[in-house]
């Protein structure tokens, strides 16, 4: 996990008046709201005898443990221990840690890392703040390491291989490789053939990587090139924009084996011009549900079988079309190293570099 970062940990609408227990970034957390609505994040363990605070309830400006009724305020101090009576002495060590937390853009964000490095800005892109009246959101967990998940999302030439063969994939056939004059005729075959990546670009700027790539059928002048614009922003955001749609996905680690997937589908660009937002939102929602149970399920079956479970610089034999994948793994490594994380040896993973390079260019090792 990349330290010293804000991570979105849950859709803010999931936190109501009751405490919410969840596991994120290797920690069991309890979230609760103060009477004025502000969010508190604390470790989900009562220090008295280890009960889960998320099984308790919010009482005024405090959270109450379900086991013996001890109460903790937003700073984490124990302010009531009913078994001691009103004048009893509460030991100083009886407190829980309160963690830096924010609620913005309909997400609850948790700071992971050194508090002295706390940043003002959140990992969100200006493009994601553009008006999107039909935006829909879907969140779910998968037992996959976030590195493998991100790899899958920033690479599209697996699409014709993995996402063919189910009826709803035929909708993609036309979008990706269809020829307007032929409509759907032969589009399935063309779709499966459109696995050629051409003209990719990749620019790293600090903690952000912007890439473009076209998917096409090689040597087919009739093939409509499908241009992907993809941005990765540390620690775990992938933003996609094409002429048809734009969407963002955060992959927040639950722990070293699981990921919480959080998807915003902003719009189908051609529909925004004429569809009422309510209808458009319904289509967006339906798309995401199909995405989860269709495409993501297909990706998931592949990811389940991948080894090693955690991707990193040097564990793959990447090719030129994987430049964004390579840059992502390098950036992750750099940020972990800069945060003083476990020592990571530097491996030359420069795409196509002579000698020691682990990335091969199409047509041979560079």
Query: Residue 299 binds which entry of ligand FES, Fe ion, none, with Cβ cut-offs from 5 to 8 Å by kind?
Result: Fe ion
Taking Cα atoms as reference points, which of 164, 171, 158 lies closest to residue 213?
158
**Torsion angle of C-alpha atoms 122, 124, 125, 131, degrees rounded to 10:** -120
Q: How far is the CB of 153 from Fe ion (least distance, A)?
A: 7
The strand pairing partners of 261, in sequence order, are 140, 251
Query: DSSP string of 119-167?
Result: -SS-S--GGGGS--TT-EEEEEEESS-HHHHHHHHT--TTHHHHS-SST
Contact region with Fe ion (CB under 5 A), list: 54-62, 168-176, 295-303, 349-357: 295-303
The listed partner (Fe ion, ligand FES, none) that binds 49, CB under 5 to 8 Å by sort, is: ligand FES
Q: Measuring CA to CA, which residue among 249, 201, 261 is closest to residue 228?
A: 201
CB of 78 to ligand FES, least distance (A): 9
Query: What residues from 194 to 223 belong to the interface with Fe ion (CB under 5 A)?
Result: none
Residue whose CB is less far from ligand FES, 18 or 182: 18
Q: CA 250 to CA 227: how far, in whole Å?
A: 22
Which one, 163 or 333, has the nearer CB to Fe ion?
163
For residue 26, the minimal CB distance to ligand FES (Å) is: 22
Segment lying near Fe ion (by CB under 5 A), choices 90-98, 235-243, 299-307, 318-326: 299-307
Smallest separation (angstroms) from Fe ion to the CB of 293: 13
User: CB of 218 within 8 A of CB of 272?
Assistant: no
- Report the partner that residue 46 touches, choosing among ligand FES, Fe ion, none (CB closer than 5 to 8 A by kind): ligand FES
# binding residues, Fe ion (CB under 5 A)? 1
Q: Which run of H or of E encompasses 195?
A: none
Residue 67 interaction partner, one of Fe ion, ligand FES, none, beta carbon < 5-8 Å per kind: ligand FES
Question: 301 burial class (0-12, 13-18, 19+ CB within 10 angstroms)?
Answer: exposed
Name, in order, each residue with C-beta under 8 angstroms of 340's C-beta and a sequence gap of 6 or more. 3
Contacts with ligand FES by CB under 6 A lie at 46, 48-49, 51, 65, 67-68, 70
Burial (CB < 10 A; 0-12, 13-18, 19+), residue 256, is exposed
In terms of CB distance, is 48 or 95 closer to ligand FES? 48
Which CB sits closer to ligand FES, 74 or 277? 74
Structure tokens at 119: 């940043």
When the beta carbons of 155 and 267 are compared against Fe ion, the nearer one is 155
Considering only residues 330 to 349 of the shown chain, the ones binding Fe ion according to CB under 5 A are none
Whole-angstrom distance, CA of residue 255 vs CA of residue 210: 27
Of 220, 160, 162, 161, nearest to 191 by C-alpha is 160
Of 73, 155, 264, 299, the one binding Fe ion (CB under 5 A) is 299
Tokens 């996959």, located at residue: 144
Measured from the CB of residue 350, what is the shortest distance to ligand FES in angstroms? 53
Give the shortest CB-48-to-ligand FES separation in angstroms.
Answer: 3
Least distance from Fe ion to the Cβ atom of residue 165, Å = 13
Q: How many CB atoms lie within 10 A of CB 147?
A: 22
Distance of closest approach, residue 95 Cβ to ligand FES, in angstroms: 12
Residue closer to ligand FES (CB basis): 64 or 195: 64
Q: Single out the segment in contact with Fe ion by CB under 5 A; choices: 179-187, 207-215, 254-262, 297-305.
A: 297-305
Q: Which does 282 bind (CB under 5 to 8 A by kind): Fe ion, ligand FES, none?
A: none
**Contacting residues toward Fe ion, per CB under 5 A:** 299
């Amino acid at each position: 996990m990349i330290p010293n970062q804000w991570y979105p940990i849950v859709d803010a609408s999931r936190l109501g008046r009751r405490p919410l227990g969840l596991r994120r970034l290797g920690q069991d957390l309890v979230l609760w709201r103060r009477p004025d609505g502000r969010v508190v994040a604390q470790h989900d363990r009562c220090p008295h005898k280890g009960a889960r605070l998320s099984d308790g309830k919010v009482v005024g400006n405090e959270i109450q443990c379900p086991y013996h009724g001890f109460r903790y305020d937003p700073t984490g101090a124990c302010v009531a221990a009913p078994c001691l009576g009103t004048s009893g002495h509460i030991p100083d060590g009886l407190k829980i840690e309160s963690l830096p937390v924010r609620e913005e853009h309909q997400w609850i964000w948790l700071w992971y890392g050194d508090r002295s490095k706390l940043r003002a800005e959140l990992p969100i892109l200006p493009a994601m703040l553009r008006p999107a009246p039909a935006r829909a959101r879907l969140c779910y967990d998968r037992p996959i390491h976030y590195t493998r998940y991100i790899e899958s999302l920033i690479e599209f030439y697996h699409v014709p291989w993995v996402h063919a063969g189910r009826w709803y994939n035929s909708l993609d056939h036309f979008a990706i490789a269809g020829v307007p004059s032929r409509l759907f005729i032969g589009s399935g075959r063309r779709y499966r053939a459109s696995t050629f990546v051409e003209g990719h670009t990749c620019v790293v700027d600090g903690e952000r990587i912007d890439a473009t790539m076209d998917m096409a059928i090689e040597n087919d002048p009739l093939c409509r090139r499908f241009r992907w614009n993809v941005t990765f922003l540390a620690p775990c955001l992938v933003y996609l924009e094409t002429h048809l749609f734009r969407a963002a996905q955060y992959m927040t680690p639950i722990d070293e084996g699981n990921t919480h997937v959080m998807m915003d589908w902003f719009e189908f660009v051609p529909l925004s011009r004429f569809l009422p937002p309510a209808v458009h939102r319904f289509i967006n929602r339906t798309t995401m549900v199909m995405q989860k149970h269709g495409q993501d399920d297909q990706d998931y079956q592949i990811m389940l079988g991948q080894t090693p479970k955690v991707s990193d610089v040097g564990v793959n034999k990447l090719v030129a079309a994987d430049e964004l994948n390579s840059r992502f793994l390098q950036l992750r490594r750099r940020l972990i190293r800069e945060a003083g994380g476990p020592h990571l040896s530097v491996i030359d993973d420069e795409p196509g570099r002579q000698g020691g390079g682990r990335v091969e260019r199409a047509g041979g090792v560079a």
